[in-house]
Amino acid sequence: MYIKYVFGEKWPSQSAGISFTTFANYGIAQANPQNDIELIVTGQRQQDEVLNNYFGLKPLNNFNIKYIKDKSILSKTTKFYWNTYNYLKNKAKNKELDVIITRKIGFFPFLLMLKKKYDIKIFYEAHNFYLDLSLKEEKHYKKKLYQKLFLPYFNGIICHHETLKDLYNNYLPNQKYIIARTGIKNIYNYKKTNYNLAYIGALGDRKNLKDMFKALSKIKNQKSKLIIIGGTNKEKIKKCKKIAENYNVEDRIEITGWINRKEIDDVLRNVMIGLVPLEDIFFNRYLTSPMKIFNYFSHGIPVIGTNIPTVKEILNNKYGLLYRPNDYIDLADKIDILMEDNKLYNNISKKIINDYSSMKWKDRGEKILNSIEIIGE
């Protein structure tokens, strides 16, 4: 099969979306070398160098990055969509296109044209939701219209957890769904020798960073450090340090700034517990599948996260502990429990390593390929 994934953002970049999409499509390529997988993006970098140095991935013959020009005096996005449409149309004419996957709602009209004219299978990989704007903090009426008009004609919707699938199924009960959980790249199994905490990700409003700093000030082991892997610019890092100062923990935090995926693995070798402090909002409750959790899992690191549906589903009462939203005392208590109960900690760590050894990106890719073939029958 010839599979094209339309992403349309600069590659590489600091966004979690780029990392997810790169690893996901690489996994599809790994799953069956007979298929040809192409990730369509913007930018212009040497593919093999970026794969190796930024993502820590070896080049594959059947996985390629296609750069599409988006320079325009008007809309760069519209320019990208039209150029991508013409590129895919030529591929279809040459019998080099079977499946298109996208997470870009603005590309939906172009997908439907390709489907109708060339009988291409089209799939939406859902990372957001606009069918009912009464549920959301922000309003995007055009995206709501596009999802409502075009999604019923898609061959299927790919969701990264049951919570998201159930949400879509309430509005599109006749649609076909593929549940494909976020994968991991590798499993690293080694003995933990310190009591450091870690947080990976953005320093924005969807995250409850204050809870982390408050909890750090309350936990029993006052020698524990919090390593923050993230911070896209100096201003955000400065703001984060200021918050830490307010709770007198500035000497116990380390902020790496944004680092590449290979460097993240090096940092996590010095971490005991991974934190996922999320605000209790619609996006976090129903849409997110935090890659930070799976970064922790790849090192067998137990997770403590906010008790909201998405995090609860991923941890599944097996891979970590939950704390009440906006309750830093409960978060501190959960940290103390994992630090003091060696048997509990080791059991969770072993469970992660045993279960996620068969939940790599390649395994996710196999599930998607099998589901596409079944849906297409």
**Looking at per-residue confidence, does 45 or 86 come out higher?**
86
- Please write down the long-range contacts of 186-189, taking CB distance under 8 Å and 24 or more positions apart: 186/265, 186/298, 186/360, 187/298, 187/300, 187/353, 187/356, 187/357, 187/360, 188/265, 188/268, 188/269, 188/298, 188/299, 188/300, 189/300, 189/353
Q: Are residues 146 and 85 part of one domain?
A: yes
Q: State the pLDDT at residue 51.
A: 94
> Is residue 190 in some structural domain?
no
Cβ–Cβ < 8 Å for 302, 338 = yes
| pLDDT tens-place string over residues 196-251 | 999 998 887 778 889 999 999 999 999 999 999 988 788 889 989 999 999 999 99
Neighbours of 71 (CB within 10 A): 9
What single string gives the DSSP state of each residue in 129-183? --S-GGG-SS--HHHHHHHHHHGGGSSEEEESSHHHHHHHHTT-TTS-EEE----
Q: Are residues 157 and 43 part of one domain?
A: yes
**Res. 73: pLDDT tops 80:** no
Q: What is the mean pLDDT of residues 96-121?
A: 98
> Is residue 188 in some structural domain?
no
State the residue range of the domain holding 263. Answer: 197-356
> Is residue 192 in some structural domain?
no
Neighbours of 73 (CB within 10 A): 6
Residues linked to residue 189 through DSSP beta bridges, in sequence order = none
Helix (H, G, I), strand (E, B) or coil at 8: strand
Say which residues have a Cβ less than 8 Å from residue 254's Cβ, sequence separation at least 6.
Answer: 225, 226, 227, 228
| pLDDT tens-place string over residues 242-295 | 999 999 999 999 999 988 888 999 999 999 999 999 999 999 999 999 999 999
Q: What is the mean pLDDT of residues 151-163?
A: 98
**Res. 376: pLDDT tops 90:** no
Gap between the Cα atoms of 360 and 53, Å rounded:
20
Gap between the Cα atoms of 184 and 45, Å rounded:
25
Q: How confident is the model at residue 318 (pLDDT cuts 50, 70, 90)?
A: very high
Q: Are residues 317 and 238 part of one domain?
A: yes
Q: Are residues 346 and 206 part of one domain?
A: yes
Residue 86 has which token pair? 């013409």
> Is residue 32 in some structural domain?
yes
Q: Are residues 111 and 157 part of one domain?
A: yes
The percentage of residues in the chain with a pLDDT greater than 70, rounded to a whole number, is 99
Gap between the Cα atoms of 111 and 254, Å rounded:
45
> Is residue 91 in some structural domain?
yes
Q: Are residues 230 and 161 part of one domain?
A: no
> Is residue 307 in some structural domain?
yes
Residues linked to residue 304 through DSSP beta bridges, in sequence order = 275, 321
Q: CB-hemisphere CA count at 13 Å for 113?
A: 11
pLDDT, averaged across the chain = 94
Q: Are residues 252 and 285 part of one domain?
A: yes
Positive or negative CA dihedral for 183, 296, 218, 201?
negative
Q: How confident is the model at residue 70 (pLDDT cuts 50, 70, 90)?
A: confident
What is residue 326's DSSP assignment? Answer: T
* Domain CATH number, residue 149: 3.40.50.2000
Q: State the pLDDT at residue 199.
A: 96
**Res. 353: pLDDT tops 70:** yes
Q: State the pLDDT at residue 377.
A: 59
Torsion of CA 313, 319, 324, 326, to 10 degrees: -100
φ and ψ of 163, to 5 deg:
-60, -45
> Is residue 103 in some structural domain?
yes
As to burial, measured by CB atoms within 10 angstroms (0-12 exposed, 13-18 middle, 19+ buried), residue 191 is exposed
Q: Are residues 177 and 202 part of one domain?
A: no
Q: What is the largest CA-CA distance in the chain?
A: 66
> Is residue 216 in some structural domain?
yes
Q: Are residues 154 and 106 part of one domain?
A: yes
Burial code of 319-343, b = ≥16 C-beta within 10 A, e = fewer?
bbbbbebebbebbbbbbeebbeeee
Gap between the Cα atoms of 337 and 77, Å rounded:
49
Q: Are residues 240 and 201 part of one domain?
A: yes
Q: Are residues 45 and 179 part of one domain?
A: yes
Q: Are residues 365 and 233 part of one domain?
A: no
Q: What is the mean pLDDT of residues 181-209?
A: 89
- In the chain, the number of structural domains is 2
